[in-house]
Structure 1
């Protein structure tokens, strides 16, 4: 059955964009950027704003969950927006949760959220199988493209210490080794750590939190990387304060995460690809600087994300469509993923900020 939205789209655009992947259509079809922005504005206008007490009375609380207020600004009011979910083959719900918006600062987060002491429950069972399966396809390509977007920060790691927080099965640590970094990583998945150490030659992965590992706890890192990790952190202020303390003078923090300012989120709502089972919080180019400012970072720079195939030059889009996509991403939201480089101090900005649009915090 053809959906009403598809019928309307074909009435407006014909079949011209049928071969454009769904994740690129909102950036390619003329005028769609404005339509999706209007759609988002209407959603916010219609969504109620509730006190935390009112919200708690309406929403059930799971065994490993807790109700929270906005971690960025402390606002307790809630604006319920989304109900991401996935179904099993038999039609029963496999997982679901609720996403709210802070009416004060615009931050999106899962509420109820997972209690920090139960976070390991999400990664305890064969998580490395996921990380080395279909998810891992082209993962190292994305790492390379992101590092290139912030060149020359990660071009040569000789004599520099790097921590990969949430290192998973070690796919990035492999690249860090190759580029000469003195690299190590930490992760909450024991089977992922084991897989990483089978994969690595010089770098080392550890199970647990940074403060539990002597090599990590002593700090002095030149770089810390968070590859698709930020959305998984239930206490971001605590974590980023820790990251800032682990960085040495002139240090940088690289972040790749889903972009809560994405046109795809505004277009697809609860079905947005960024709402996955283990994601807890969702940042944009407006809310991430708030987190960095509150935890002692001096500046941040963003690099737009056009998509792996577009950036690599292997896209099936026509040259005209690829140019249109790039223009729309730059003019609107920065892409469906957010890439950011945070600077620990003014020394870091002076050393690595040349050629980047650094926003001082």
Structure 2
């Protein structure tokens, strides 16, 4: 048993053992405050060093580069985490370093992946991952986010939609069912092949948007990024491209791991948001900077409580469910971040739907 688990067992006993580990930090009394204090202590005690000093300490991989903060340009580094995964034989399958920008608080992998080598992470049967256990509840999560951002997704009405990083086409399948003129792009050739075998009217393309003439022409009413943002090594460039692909009144829907998650603050390097292919990690505090630099007019957020909570299939008691929702609302600590970015004022007027919109211009 790890030291952290031993402390939790000493404090809470076995009363919460039946609650899934991903929900315990939200429902155990006082734990939110404890984890927030734990995270503040980590930030207070972790040294800030120059990029040159950081380079001297960390080994650079064959497809990696050292970077400064993409949100504000700060070169100083505050090393915080070292995620890794072991193979069955005990050897390291993958590992990397995550740093925090001491100026704006942005979390990112450093060294990061060279943009021209990003495809190396997805070239070998990536669809096996996308269509296995990972995919079993994906469409439920898509529907929940679509419901959270009504009325954007209620009726497609032949509006043009681009799913960036469409994978095996599970969202495109929903989009065509709802009447969108749906298109997708992805860097995994086997995923694109599988998507097109599944789809009827929607189409998936291999490559980047600029590689496909009908995508590069733009004029999209909706662009979606489902668990894609954390994979982008040049986010400002990519989001500027997304903004240019949108028609007047268009919106960009984002689902990504949340760098403010209580699970991150509780489990550190073992957080499930640190996966082999994730490069950058956003929160409500850092995402507006990205959107502003890319030319978006505003952004709205919706809290994420968890798939089973939102689907009404949770095994938590009513009291525990209410406590979980309260914890997420108080800390913006849901494990996923859901955002709707507005291309211009017309988009805000059309799709803001009375929700709080953080204006960026």
| TM bucket, shorter chain | over 0.9
Aligned partner of 1:157 in structure 2 is: 156
The Cα of 1:159 is off from its aligned counterpart by 2.4
- On the 8 A contact 1:250/1:346 being kept in 2, the answer is yes
**SS class of match (1:94):** strand
Corresponding residue for 2:307?
308
Distance in structure 2 (CA, Å) of the matches to 1:8 and 1:262 = 20
* Number of the residue aligned with 1:46: 45
Distance (whole Å) between structure 1 residues aligned to residue 10 and residue 279 of structure 2? 38
Q: Distance in 1 between matches of 2:75 and 2:342?
A: 30
Q: Report SS of the residue matched to 1:351.
A: helix
Unaligned runs of 5+ in 1: none
Match of 1:137 in 2: 136
* Structure-2 separation of matches of 1:289 and 1:17: 37
Q: Deviations over 1:211-239 (max 9, x none)?
A: 11111011010000000000000000000
Residues in 2 aligned to 1:278 and 1:114: alpha-carbon distance in whole angstroms: 9
Superposed, 1:209-224 pairs within 5 Å as 209-224=208-223
Could you say which residue in structure 1 is the equivalent of 2:116?
117
Q: Check the 8 A contact 1:255/1:340 in 2, yes or no.
A: yes
- Alignment RMSD: 0.8
Alpha-carbon distance in structure 1 between the residues aligned to 2:211 and 2:252: 20
Q: Give the aligned partner of residue 15 of structure 2.
A: 16
**Equivalent residues of 2:151, 2:353 under 8 A apart:** no
Q: Following the alignment from structure 2 to structure 1, what is the Cα–Cα distance between the partners of residues 274 and 215?
A: 31
Contact 1:303 1:334 (C-alpha < 8 Å) held by counterparts: no
Counterpart CA distance in 2 for 1:325 and 1:52 is 39
Contact 1:28 1:325 in 2 (8 A): yes
| 1:97 has 2:96 as partner | yes
- The superposition leaves residues 309-360 of structure 1 with CA deviations (integer Å, 9 ceiling, x where unpaired) of 0001000000100010001101112400000000000000000102311111
Matches of 2:27 and 2:66, distance apart in 1? 39
Alignment partner of 1:321: what SS? helix
Query: Does 1:185 find its partner at 2:184?
Result: yes
TM-score after normalising by structure 2: 0.99
Contact 2:262 2:333 in 1 (8 A): no
Match of 2:194 in 1: 195
Shift of 1:9: 1.8
Report the counterpart of residue 232 of structure 2 in structure 1.
233
- Where does structure 2 lack aligned partners over 5 or more consecutive residues? none
Per the TM alignment, residue 191 of structure 1 is displaced from its structure 2 partner at its CA by 0.6
SS at match of 2:71: coil
Q: TM-score, normalised by structure 1?
A: 0.99
Shift of 1:37: 0.7
Deviations 1:180-221 (A, max 9, x none): 000000000111110000010000000111011111011010
How far is the alpha carbon of 1:45 from its aligned partner? 1.0
Deviations 1:281-306 (A, max 9, x none): 00001000010011100110101000
1:5 maps to 4
Superposed CA deviations along residues 21-79 of structure 1, whole A, max 9, x for unmatched, are 11111110111111101100111111111111000011110000000000010000010
